[in-house]
Structure 1
């Protein structure tokens, strides 16, 4: 089994947090979004993960090494491919054409999920979906009486289905997918000016490929600050019974910790209340503060703060009062 992860986008809606790192490396409950994604896909697959291929922009050698390490953490080879120009989802996946062999899962790196199923690897293809109240903003699938997908409908004006496509797909034959993606590029078949995966899915379906839905129990978006903070909250609830959420090297003095929280290596918490639903990165220091429902990244210092529903980046110095913050890396703010 291979996992293909397109993640070359700039993450503009997450600025300033994506000015120094790509969005998929923002931490959720102590691990980068993309690591959570890869680990959760591995859990539902019934086969070992042989390779994880990442399609990225010009993120630098350190980011590339971090991604390889993430692949190796699930026992897989890590491969790096580059998308030089944003030409659509089909083009992005095809950038990893050398890895499109055998069974593959394609997973776009701005979403997380909770699933209670095991992936049926005998199916031709599987589209992961979530029931939504308002389908209009999403691509949805229609089903027949055999639970097979008959149509892909993008942002329907009128109700056709409440099963939204979340951006994770399984293909039994990666080489077949590769050929269908290449067909789009060779024949300049675009939708809204870009090469789209949904066009390849439609062509494959029309040639007899049977796609079935895999219904997840929760879909978590990381598209903006508020959504990412909420995802951190939900993830901490998922893993609240795991050991070592508070690192043994962390120092907690004269403070109250309200679970679930994650506190990283060599963090220092003094005279503070932290939690619930807080992630504190490695080497971060929190003094005389109240922090709830927030993500505070690495090597940051908070003093005299009262923050909630916030994201604070790396290497930040903050002294202040009650706030709803979105502070990027290397900022200093005193109030």
Structure 2
């Protein structure tokens, strides 16, 4: 299993905190957000992690890169650093890690903090984790059919679609399928 962590954003909404430190490295209760995220995801997956790929901005520097590699190594995984130096969206960020996009993988946004009990259905082709929220207009939400399958993802809907907000964690049985689709865009 691989964990792919896009985290190249500048964190402008959290200024002044992010003027000197990238948002995913802001400590929460003494530990940077991205450290907590990767450890929590590994705990939920309950299987060995082969690789943790971090997509960062080049300006984060070598010290940050070393800290990120150490997170992966602590899990017994290979740590890989990729660069996204232009803010061209999530799809672009994921494609920056194209050399790591094979096999089963979880994509998790580095500013996502989770505390949940859920199991991964490794037989599913893909999974998007969601959370019921009070103000769905502030989030990307999913619309489900009668079989509880996602049929639509709507970013910050002006009219009510659903109250199931995407939390920024995705599983792919074979992430190469996503890679192939992203190459078509």
Counterpart-to-counterpart distance in 1, 2:47 and 2:135:
35
Q: With CA pairs under 8 Å and 6+ residues apart, which has the higher RCO, 1 or 2?
A: 2
Q: Which has the higher helix share?
A: 2
* Structure-2-length-normalised TM-score: 0.96
Query: Is 1:167 the equivalent of 2:173?
Result: no
- Please, which moves more after superposition, 93-102 or 44-53? 44-53
| Cα shift at 1:19 | 2.0
Spell out, residue by residue over 1:53-107, the C-alpha distance to the aligned partner (whole angstroms, 9 max, x if none).
0000021111100000011112211000001211111000100001111001011
Query: Is 1:43 the equivalent of 2:43?
Result: yes
Instruction: Point out 4+ residue stretches in structure 1 off by more than 3 angstroms.
Output: none
Aligned residues between the structures: 184
Counterpart-to-counterpart distance in 1, 2:128 and 2:113:
15
Partner of 2:87: 86
Counterpart-to-counterpart distance in 1, 2:42 and 2:93:
22
Counterpart-to-counterpart distance in 1, 2:15 and 2:64:
18
Aligned runs of 1:12-27 on 2, under 5 Å? 12-27=12-27
Counterpart-to-counterpart distance in 2, 1:127 and 1:135:
16
Counterpart-to-counterpart distance in 1, 2:139 and 2:162:
10
* Structure-1-length-normalised TM-score: 0.54
Q: Output the aligned Cα RMSD.
A: 1.0
Counterpart-to-counterpart distance in 2, 1:22 and 1:157:
31
Query: Is 1:29 the equivalent of 2:40?
Result: no
| Cα shift at 1:45 | 0.6
SS in structure 2 at match of 1:48: coil
Counterpart-to-counterpart distance in 1, 2:29 and 2:103:
33
Q: Which has the higher strand share?
A: 1
Determine if contact 1:46/1:121 at 8 Å carries over to the other structure: no
Counterpart-to-counterpart distance in 2, 1:66 and 1:46:
23
SS in structure 2 at match of 1:10: coil
Partner of 2:148: 147
Counterpart-to-counterpart distance in 1, 2:98 and 2:32:
25
Partner of 1:4: 4
In structure 1, the gaps of 5 or more residues are 185-335
